[in-house]
Amino acid sequence: MGGGVSGRPAFADLCNLTGHGQGLGVVRGLQHSTLRRMILERPLPIHLNARQASFAALMEMYESNYLRLRRLCPDLDALADEQVSRVAGASDLHLTVLERTPYTTTLRLTYEFGSGERTRRQPDLSIRMFHDARQAEVVGRYCRRTGQDLRLEMRAGVSGLACRWRHNRFLFKWLGFCLTQGHHFRVLTAPPSRPLVDPLI
């Protein structure tokens, strides 16, 4: 058997082993089947499993959301209380700092559509970042139907874990989308902070 690089059989040699002209297709089919099986069998982080609403998965998602928020806001301590990130071809992303304490920062993240009294905000989430634990949690959202800011524990008929899972998984996906579009909030006069690595992007 020859023709392969570094002693490996070439596709033509493998075709000859099959004894018919469709050998190359069989080999490629086997390769595709093996690759597909490897991808399907590769375990996902538990917070990426849509049905894995467990406490451990929720804690992992809090950590991932913190990393993504720090990528979005690398100079968080130096940011003004209100910032807008503008990217060509994307909706403007609005960030408001609601509260700062030594160990936490509470933010509001939203898009704004329209202007003046007709301004509509959606999605519109309040997020608390815990800097010592390096976690970020959705703590509230704006409800267009009632016109009120709702805390997550105010959701009637939904368990606390399920409610937090749904909102924080949405935040995880939304932050990934914003980062992919190129959104970020920076202080132009401050030196850029060392970026935090997010292996999922």
Reported as a single tens digit per residue, the pLDDT across 112-157 is 887 767 777 778 899 999 999 999 999 987 655 555 555 665 454 4
Structure token digits, residue 15: 């075709």
The angle at the Cα of 122, spanning 195 to 150, to the nearest 5 degrees, equals 95
Q: At residue 31, does pLDDT exceed 80?
A: no
In angstroms, the CA 129 to CA 120 distance is: 25
Phi, psi of 60 (to 5 degrees): -65, -40
Residue 149, C-beta contacts closer than 8 angstroms, at least 6 positions apart: 126, 140, 141, 142, 143
- Answer yes or no: are the C-beta atoms of 125 and 141 closer than 8 Å: yes
Q: At residue 1, does pLDDT exceed 80?
A: no
pTM: 0.65
- Answer yes or no: are the C-beta atoms of 75 and 193 closer than 8 Å: yes
Q: Which amino acid is at 76?
A: L
CA dist 151 → 2, 31, 126, 143 (Å): 69, 51, 9, 10
Going by pLDDT thresholds of 50, 70 and 90, the confidence category of residue 37 is low
Going by pLDDT thresholds of 50, 70 and 90, the confidence category of residue 49 is low
Per mean pLDDT, which of 32-41, 48-57, 58-67 is the most reliable?
58-67
Going by pLDDT thresholds of 50, 70 and 90, the confidence category of residue 171 is very high
